Amino acid sequence: MISRKIITNIVQEAGFDIVGVVRAEHLAEEHNRFNKWMLEGNASTLDYLKRNIEKRFDASVLVEGAKSVIVCAISYLSPYSRGYAEGCRTKVASYALARDYHMTIKEMLNEVAERLKEHYPTLRFRAFTDSAPLAEKSYAVRAGLGWIGRNSLVVTPKHGSMLHLGELVINEEVDEYDTPLSGVGCGECRRCVEACPNGTILDNRTIDTRRCISCRTIERETDSGNIDLDGWIFGCDACQTVCPYNMKAPLHTNRKFDPLYDPTTLDTEAWLAMTEEEFQAMAGTTAMTRAGIARIQKNIEAE
């Protein structure tokens, strides 16, 4: 049995902002909602969403012998998260300006697990961040980090939604589990719905990925119809920038999530003239380089 207090201390020392712990149980309600969303065709060509659905909503199926899920979150909110100047045609989602979070979060989770093992040598774990078939948003809500906002993202009371999530699925029980938050939520607010350039946000706190700029500029190049990219060349923050919880959230404090370059110094001509070598030199460790400069340039030309 692991102490929740020890988990909290270690997770905070590793640099995360928020932590919650839940049992590695089947999330039946969320599972049913996801199936319905899929049947309505909203996953479009995002095939990875269609695989391993049984594991996604049950951490004990995903990881044999799993007893608990430690859900960690860290803010990446930077001045760029507050939005770009009116008319800017080279907007980059603010998370993508920092070192690739997949690498950073994995390192931080491994550090947490190794520190926990010093106290609990029989601990076994697997670390995930946006990289495995685990319904991390659903586990984050169950763990009391926040709620699912109308834009389908996890919104937290203090740090808003500009967060990265990471999970440790462990083989041990914990002496105290968290429960979902109560008394907080979006209320009557619909700012994200109104701010989305393509009417992508559906009524049931999900999005139609076919019309989402973020999906279009990162995940795939073609779609069932043309959508307005609204000046975004990689990702899209529009439905988060306007969120009142993000507007009042503090800037990130963990330097590992500092932007590595200033995107406002680059106009479309500069991006279109950039070679792969120059792009790698500028943005080499960010998630943007997974796409490559050719893809960014295609996004600009598609505008």
- Residues lying near ligand SF4 in the complex (CB under 6 A) are found at 149-151, 155, 186, 189-192, 196, 198, 200-201, 207, 212-214, 236, 238-239, 242-245
- If the CB atoms of residues 129 and 152 are measured against ligand SF4, the closer one turns out to be 152
- If the CB atoms of residues 19 and 212 are measured against ligand SF4, the closer one turns out to be 212
Q: With contact defined as beta carbons under 8 Å apart, do 102 and 131 qualify?
A: yes
- If the CB atoms of residues 174 and 212 are measured against ligand SF4, the closer one turns out to be 212
The least distance separating ligand SF4 from the CB of residue 244, rounded to whole angstroms, comes to: 6
Q: Is 130 annotated in the active site?
A: yes
The least distance separating ligand SF4 from the CB of residue 156, rounded to whole angstroms, comes to: 11
The least distance separating ligand SF4 from the CB of residue 46, rounded to whole angstroms, comes to: 13
- If the CB atoms of residues 117 and 190 are measured against ligand SF4, the closer one turns out to be 190
Q: Catalytic one among 130, 178, 223, 230?
A: 130
- If the CB atoms of residues 53 and 189 are measured against ligand SF4, the closer one turns out to be 189
Q: With contact defined as beta carbons under 8 Å apart, do 17 and 75 qualify?
A: yes
- Residue 180: CB atoms within 10 A of its CB come to 14
The least distance separating ligand SF4 from the CB of residue 66, rounded to whole angstroms, comes to: 30
**Alpha-carbon distance 169 to 83, whole Å?**
35
CA 94, distance to chain mean position in Å, is 12
- 276-283 and 293-301 helices, crossing angle to 10°: 100
Q: With contact defined as beta carbons under 8 Å apart, do 217 and 175 qualify?
A: no
Q: Which residues contact 47 (CB under 8 A, 6 or more apart)?
A: none
Residue 20, both tokens:
């919650």
**Alpha-carbon distance 214 to 238, whole Å?**
10
The residue number whose beta carbon is nearest to ligand SF4 equals: 149
The least distance separating ligand SF4 from the CB of residue 86, rounded to whole angstroms, comes to: 16
Q: With contact defined as beta carbons under 8 Å apart, do 143 and 178 qualify?
A: yes
Q: Catalytic residues, which ones?
A: 130
